[in-house]
Chains A and B, each alone.
Chain A
């Protein structure tokens, strides 16, 4: 049975634009088969997994030994399990942020550079199938790394302090971020003609999510204060773009409200910071919008999940539009705008 939903782009041609799930060729995607085949061929992939686990294990061991040494007279505190888990998770996030974009930044631009892309477009593969195959093969490899890291992470169960739901939630956050990083890479590779440019922009975007967004958020905060705002800090959307925010809420889970000390590298837990805000604002008669209230009350990992899902969907639709060769689409305006970009930054398909 064909299941389809319609993208509400332009009412006039909804019928023509109905989205066809079979276009993804989910179960039998030649692009995916080919990508996975050539990716897993040779020694590079197994070696990467091995190196990934070695680094992760090394960091875990080093942290544990360091803590044991520091606490050689007092004995390890009860938080050691949680702390180790946090260190390993954050490190995994950084590794994923480092590795995942590299798997997709050349997906489209590389095909263009190798002059194989035209041949692909001439086949029955739909742009959705091409994008999906490229994305899934890239993400699958990141997920492989994450899954390979799971046994290492579960060492913390020996030390206690972490529940299975924490582990599951952390894995979800890491996986969602891996998908987001892969989609960012894929979009850049469709947008830019050269893999070099695509790589720089994709890593720039990932770096912005990891660091830049929080910096901008704190600028916004101090700007507010300089304008005379004296109340408790208000949450900014930008803070939730940071994967570390989501990660910290996933790791700490229900401990969030009564456990704040000793988690290295994590930003201050936001709901704890902002929840009193709501009460304060309500008591002082300030109206809080529904969106603001949601930012304050919802779990950060959930907020980030929603944001990233929206970002991923938008970028995927744009990517598909960028690689379509002939059809005129509602995005032709976007393409024309890209065509006005300096030539070396312009995607090849967009000029036509």
Chain B
């Protein structure tokens, strides 16, 4: 449904997107995860036809976002991470304006506004001025606005940011409902746990590159199956790191001042084999243990975003 091909975007010397390639299948809720500054917002803005990529191509339902922005705008509903509202309009007028701006016929529009306000639970606020709404309500109104022209793809940039826990839950339920309506949803967040509960697919982006993508269970188990092992040695760290890298099942080794950290696939038997091999080779290993951390920590370790 959404396809990115070697997408690049630079701001001056900074590379926000560095050859991002990914595909979002139709009808999925795609969680777009990465630390702040990884390029999530840039990607979504390119898809929303608001930003011109420096290279590569992006398609929504086979329409090129650069070549045919008019077509693409009818296919997408975009909710930016920060947005404002017109303070001198009522809720129903607000939706009516965007409906009109999308060329929705007036009869359809009236029906749509009623349905959408019911969907986002703002029916009793139809005649309230937009600026009297709470942050959570505005967020839901903005979601309703995205849906006014019945788009097939929704681009939601951190829809839960700045919401209290209750409003977050409401937002999550809403997004699940969208899936039942057959929409393809791309939703970005820097919190993996938040997305893993509602997404069907996840893509992990870091420094403008996709580092992992696929169905949620697969990506999560990929993260989980790798065991994070901390190895402490009395010197010769670099040699130990090199020896570790040679071992089968070792995915990644990071050298810190006081320890090594390795991501290793395999069961405990494999771990003991590796330990035995290290000791047998005469390396001064004095500590070798699994780091029990949360999913997020593992993720941050993997992306290097939160290490130390």
A15 to chain B, nearest CB (A): 15
Name which residue of chain A comes closest to B46, CB basis: A326
Question: A322-352, CB under 8 A of B: which get 1 and which 0?
Answer: 0001111000000000000000000000001
Known contacts A30-B100, A326-B49, A328-B52; A122/B82 CB under 8 A: no
Q: Judge whether A116 and B86 touch: CB under 8 Å.
A: yes
CB–CB B83/A30 < 8 A: no
Question: Which residue in B48, B89, B145 is a CB contact (below 8 Å) of A38?
Answer: B89
- Give complex CA distance A302, B1 in Å: 57
In the complex the two chains form, what is the Cα distance from A64 to B52 in whole Å?
62
> Is A279 an interface residue when CB atoms closer than 8 A count as contact?
no
Complex CA gap A41/B93 in Å reads: 13
A352–B89 alpha-carbon span in the complex (Å):
31
Question: Which residue of chain B has the shortest Cβ distance to A116 in the bound complex?
Answer: B84
Which residue in chain A gives the minimum CB-CB distance to B12? A351
From B29-37, B72-80, B219-227, the one touching the partner chain is B72-80
Residue of A nearest to B11 (CB): A351
Interface string of A38-73 (1 = CB under 8 A from B): 100110000000000000000000000000000000
A123 at interface, CB cutoff 8 A:
yes
How far, in whole Å, are A125 and B70 apart by their CA atoms in the complex? 9
A115 in contact with B84 (CB, 8 Å): yes
Within 8 A of A (CB), among B51-73: 51-52, 65-66, 69-70, 73
User: Is A220 close to B, CB under 8 A?
Assistant: no
User: Is B101 on the interface with A (CB-CB < 8 A)?
Assistant: yes
Per the bound structure, the CA–CA distance linking A109 and B158 in Å amounts to 25
Contact of A325 among B49, B74, B89, B97 (CB under 8 A): B49
Q: Which residues of chain B are near A227, meaning CB under 8 Å?
A: none
Chain A contacts for B45, CB-based, 8 A: 118
Q: Contact between B98 and A37 (Cβ–Cβ < 8 Å)?
A: no
Residues of A contacting B124 with CB < 8 Å? Answer: none
Query: Which B residues lie within 8 Å of A34 (CB)?
Result: 86, 89, 93, 97
Which A residues lie within 8 Å of B80 (CB)?
A: 115, 118-119
Please encode chain A, from 99 to 132, with 1 for each CB lying within 8 Å of some chain B CB and 0 for all others.
Answer: 0000000000000001110111111110000000
- In the assembled complex, which residues on chain B have CB atoms less than 8 Å from the CB atom of A352? 51-52
Q: B69 near A120 (CB under 8 angstroms)?
A: no
Verify A326–B93 contact, CB threshold 8 A.
no
Residue pair B88, A118 in contact (C-beta under 8 Å): no
Asked if A31 lies at the interface with its beta carbon under 8 angstroms from chain B, I say: yes
B50 sits at the interface (CB 8 A):
yes
Q: Does B103 contact A (CB under 8 A)?
A: yes
List of A residues within 8 angstroms of B73 by Cβ = 122-124
Closest A residue by C-beta to B77: A122
Task: Give the residues in chain A near B211, CB-CB below 8 Å.
Answer: none
B277 located at the interface, meaning its Cβ lies under 8 Å from any Cβ of chain A in the complex: no
Chain B neighbourhood of A123, CB < 8 A: 73, 98, 101-102
Asked if residues A30 and B97 are in contact (CB atoms below 8 Å), the reply is: yes
- Closest beta carbon of chain B to A124's beta carbon, Å: 5
Contact A38 B88 (CB under 8 A): yes
Within the complex, the shortest CB–CB distance from A164 to chain B, in Å, comes to: 40
* Per-residue A-contact encoding for B88-111, CB less than 8 Å = 1, 0 else: 110001000110111100000000
Whether A124 lies near B103 (C-beta < 8 A) is yes
Query: Could you tell me the distance in whole angstroms from the C-beta of A266 to the nearest C-beta in chain B?
Result: 40
Shortest Cβ distance from A120 into B: residue: B101
Are A37 and B48 interface neighbours, CB within 8 A? no
With A30-B100, A119-B98 known as contacts, the answer to whether A38 contacts B86 (CB < 8 A) is yes
Residue of A nearest to B101 (CB): A123
CB-CB nearest in chain B for A41: B88
Given contacts A325-B50, A352-B52, contact A124 B102 (CB under 8 A): yes
Given A38-B88, A118-B83, A122-B78, is A327 in contact with B102 using a C-beta cutoff of 8 Å? no
Distance between B227 CB and nearest chain A CB, rounded to angstroms: 44
Query: What are 21 of the A-B contact pairs (CB < 8 Å)?
Result: A28-B100, A30-B100, A33-B100, A42-B88, A114-B84, A115-B84, A118-B48, A118-B50, A118-B78, A118-B80, A119-B78, A121-B49, A122-B49, A122-B73, A123-B102, A124-B73, A124-B74, A124-B101, A124-B102, A325-B69, A326-B49
A-B pairs with lowest CB-CB distance, top 5: A30-B100, A114-B84, A123-B101, A38-B88, A115-B84
Give 12 A-B pairs besides A122-B49, A328-B52 with Cβ atoms closer than 8 angstroms: A30-B97, A114-B84, A114-B86, A115-B83, A116-B84, A116-B85, A119-B80, A122-B76, A123-B73, A124-B101, A325-B51, A326-B50
Chain B residues in the interface with A (C-beta under 8 A): 45, 48-52, 65-66, 69-70, 73-74, 76, 78, 80, 82-86, 88-89, 93, 97-98, 100-103, 145
